[in-house]
Structure 1
């Protein structure tokens, strides 16, 4: 199979049929073999009924339905697990991503040799204050922190070699940082393509300003995991040893000063250096134990089920 199209969605019943027709038109005109996976992330409208109808009429349409809304990352994770195509295309269901971009994205993966190609919505039709400016700040911070030189990390239109989606773990709200996850997994040939962005035709956006706050917090998380996720003792152990040495140094100083220079002066416990020494040694010990526990957790990590699927169509 040439292409798997993975489409996470939440309450997009108005746009699904139109999006399906558009994708099929592009696939047939380019003679691609394909599948379309709709991941219903707990919709409360008739989105699932639309997916069922499309699946009954077209065996290339597959659907997965979550019991409730688990988030875009979990939807992508479930979709990636089911893909069979050599190239995986992800796009949003709100018709703001243009399926006409698929052939060129496919060529960049198959002939250009890229592991991942991310769309760049250079010209956007969103609110400047609500989306454009925060998005520019967010993308700047992501580039500086991750070292991945992309202009638009959060663009839903992306193309992947199948090896990428089968070897990365998209959890939490890390869908924004899939290129960084791919880089950390060893897939370093990451490209970018300017894509058309279209104004939303139906409904309203599902994302508010809080997504940027969550995005920056996730950015700190992925930076930490990228640097120390596989070696937590390198961070916590080093901090613990440093703090303990500082505290122990103060303790030695207090002891020498009391024994040889000021034997009749204040008690050690009445001096502020004593509390600095005690606090830093305790904190240092805690840091060291945290690093040790982190190493134990990594050594015994098990795959955990992160979502519940209520129904699945044609995914066998």
Structure 2
């Protein structure tokens, strides 16, 4: 199989027939052996029945589908789609017709001929609302570039291409789909490219992402940055800061003792230790340092194997 196209969807019954035909026309023209994997993320419209009809209608491409019991989110849908994908190159694409299937052949060539591990689309010209999507997207992308060191303009573009081994080596959960390039880099796939892609205006329905993404986005970026740097060795983070805080406490305690001894050596009335502000700094710092150090030990003991995280999401496969 040349290509697998993973398409997560939620209430997209109107766009699915047109999208499938568009993909079919492109891949047949370019003679790609192709499978489409629709992942129905708990739709409450007629999307699942539409997919069943599409599966019966096409012989030039293979259509497989996964249905969730309820809405689990895009990351869970991608995780299950990646797990099922068998193509040499795995594409992701949104189901709302805003991603252009005509971009598939050149992105395929970038993977197979130019040796990229992953190619991310860049919606240079966007047909989204300026204040609710474009400006926040620019800010998040700038922040992600600064924190990850990956020079992509559009981390969250739905249209991406991967070598099959890339998607089998990463785990996407929560809302981490926004930062798959960071996860790929952390997994050792460093040749990450970018291609300007044509963005389409939404033809049917409405966006499925609300205001909560403004909160989740930065938190997920912090999480993925921390995991990528310290996920395998959390003691390197907690231990270092624990030692620093504990040393600050020890130094403050020593200073309290020195002050007491100096006063006694000069036959002066020594103040009570509990009246000295440094005593409380010492106590607090040593407690925090010990807690951080213990947190590092506990984190080291916690298994990082999350293979079961997205288990039991699937209700039906066809």
Normalising by the smaller structure, the TM-score range is: over 0.9
Measure how far apart 1:146 and its partner are.
0.4
1:141 aligned onto 2:169: no
Find the partner of 1:303 among 288, 304, 307: 307
Find the partner of 2:68 among 66, 69, 78: 66
Measure how far apart 1:74 and its partner are.
0.5
Distance 1:134 1:302 in 2: 31
Question: TM-score, normalised to structure 1's length?
Answer: 0.95
Tell me how many residue pairs correspond in the alignment: 312
Measure how far apart 1:224 and its partner are.
1.1
Measure how far apart 1:198 and its partner are.
0.6
> What does residue 30 of structure 2 align with?
30
2:83 is paired with a residue of what secondary structure?
helix
Measure how far apart 1:214 and its partner are.
1.1
1:8 is paired with a residue of what secondary structure?
strand
Distance 2:309 2:301 in 1: 21
Question: TM-score, normalised to structure 2's length?
Answer: 0.95
> What does residue 100 of structure 2 align with?
98
> What does residue 283 of structure 2 align with?
278
Find the partner of 2:274 among 269, 274, 279: 269
Q: CA RMSD in A?
A: 1.3
Q: Is the 8 A contact 1:243 1:284 kept in 2?
A: yes
1:257 aligned onto 2:262: no
1:47-196 aligned at under 5 Å gives the runs 47-58=47-58, 60-196=62-198
1:14 is paired with a residue of what secondary structure?
coil
| Runs of 4+ off more than 6 Å | none
1:184-263 aligned at under 5 Å gives the runs 184-262=186-264
Distance 1:165 1:68 in 2: 24
2:90 is paired with a residue of what secondary structure?
strand
Gaps of 5+ in 2: none
Distance 1:301 1:83, change over 3 A: closer
Measure how far apart 1:259 and its partner are.
3.2
> What does residue 4 of structure 2 align with?
4
Distance 1:242 1:109 in 2: 46
